Amino acid sequence: MLDQLPLLPADPILGLAAAARADSNPDKVDLTVGIYMDEAGVCPVFEAVQLAQRALIDEETTKAYMPAAGDPAFNTGIQKLVFGADNPALLAGRVSSIQAPGGCGALRIGAEVIAAAAPGARVWVSDPTWPVHIPLLGSVGLRFETYRYYEPASHGVDFDGMLEDLKQAKAGDVVLLHGCCHNPCGADLSIEQWGVIADMAEAQGFLPFIDIAYQGLGDGLEQDAAGLRLLASRLPEMIVAASCSKNMGLYRERTGATLFLCRDSASAEALVSQAQVAARRVYSMPPAHGAIIAGRILSDAALRANWQAELEAMCQRINGLRSELRSKLESETDRDFGFIEREKGMFSFLGLSKEQAQKLRAEHSVYMLDSSRINVAGVNARNIDTLARAVGQVLQG
C-alpha cells in the first residue's frame, strides 16, 4: 500500500534553503527562510529566554502533561500582550485562549473552530499571503477567496482593490488579515485603513481572523498591535493566531496561541472548550517547554524588561538594515528602492523577475525566492555589499 505513494517535491522555501546550505561558495547569501539572524548570521537565543530556561530546569519537578488549554501564565500573558493589559474586553472576560504548537498550530485550531461553527465557510486571504495559510486552513474543509492586497508598481497596499474585493464578503465569511509585518511583502495597513476594515466588518458581518506572528518587529509591541486592538474595540467577535517564534526566538519550541474575542464571557468559555476538543483530535496535548518560558518572561517584571529591550534592539536593527540596503541598492542601480524603508518586519519583494532571481542564484550564489521575496533579517555587514552588487549586475543584464 505505502509503496504506491509518489515522491513529493520539497517545500519551495525549505528546498531553496537546503540548496543554499549545499552551496560551497564562501560568499553565498541566504535570504530564504524567515528566521531572524544576527550580524554573525546566527539565530540568537534571547538572554531572557536563557534565564527563564535555567530557572525552569532548576525548579522543574515533573514532566506530567500540561493542562489542555496550556500553561496558565502563558495564556494570561499572551492575552495581555496581544490585546493590551487594560483592554475592556479582556477585563470583561470576553477573551479566552488556548496554547498551540506555534503559529501554525494556532491557525489550525482557529480553522477547526471556524469549521465547527460554519462547515465549509469561505475564508478571504490576501494576494499574496504566506503560502502555508491555505493548506493549514483548507485542511479542515474551508473554502477560499482572495482579495487584492499588494501592488507591485508602488510596492504598497492596493487598498482600493482590497476594499472592492472585500465588499463581497458576507456574514459567515472569514477575512484573514496579517496583524503586522505582512508576510511576504512587508506592506502594512495604516491605522486609518484598519478603521475602514472595522467599518466593513461591522456593516457586513464577516469575522476577522488575525495572524500576528511578528508583533514587536515592525514598530514595537504596542504599535504593531494597534490595528488588531482597534478591531477588538469595535467588533463583538474575532479570532487571533499569535506566535512567540519571532519575538522571543522560540522557533523550535513551537510556542503559539489561538485567542478568541467573544460577545460575552460565556461565549469565551464555550469557544475555548471547542478549541480544546479540536486540539485533542489534532495533537492531543500542548508542548510545555517554550510556553512555560514565555509565561515566565511575560509575568516576571525583570525578565520582561530584559526581553523587551532585546526585542526593541532587534526591531531597530531590522529597520536600520532596511535603510542601509536601500542606500546600497540605489548606489548599484538606477532604481528607486525607497519602498524597502517604508515596509515593516522581515520581508520585502525586491521587484525582480523570476529569471533575475534565478540568475542571482546561479551566477552569484544569492538565494531568494523566485518572487524576489527576501528575508531582510538575513542581511548583515558581511553580505550586504555582495547582495547589492549582485542585484546591480543582474539588473544591468
Which are the catalytic amino acids?
130, 211, 213, 246
* 329 exposure class (CB count in 10 Å sphere: 0-12, 13-18, 19+): buried
Residue indicated by cell numbers 474585493:
165
Contact 44, 38 (CB under 8 A): yes
Helix (H) or strand (E) holding 208: strand 207-212
What distance in Å separates the CA atoms of residue 140 and residue 116, rounded to the nearest whole number? 9
Contact 216, 250 (CB under 8 A): no
Angle between helices 226-234 and 191-204 (to 10 degrees): 30
Residue 81 neighbours by CB under 8 Å, 6+ apart: 215, 221, 225, 242, 298
What distance in Å separates the CA atoms of residue 134 and residue 130, rounded to the nearest whole number? 8
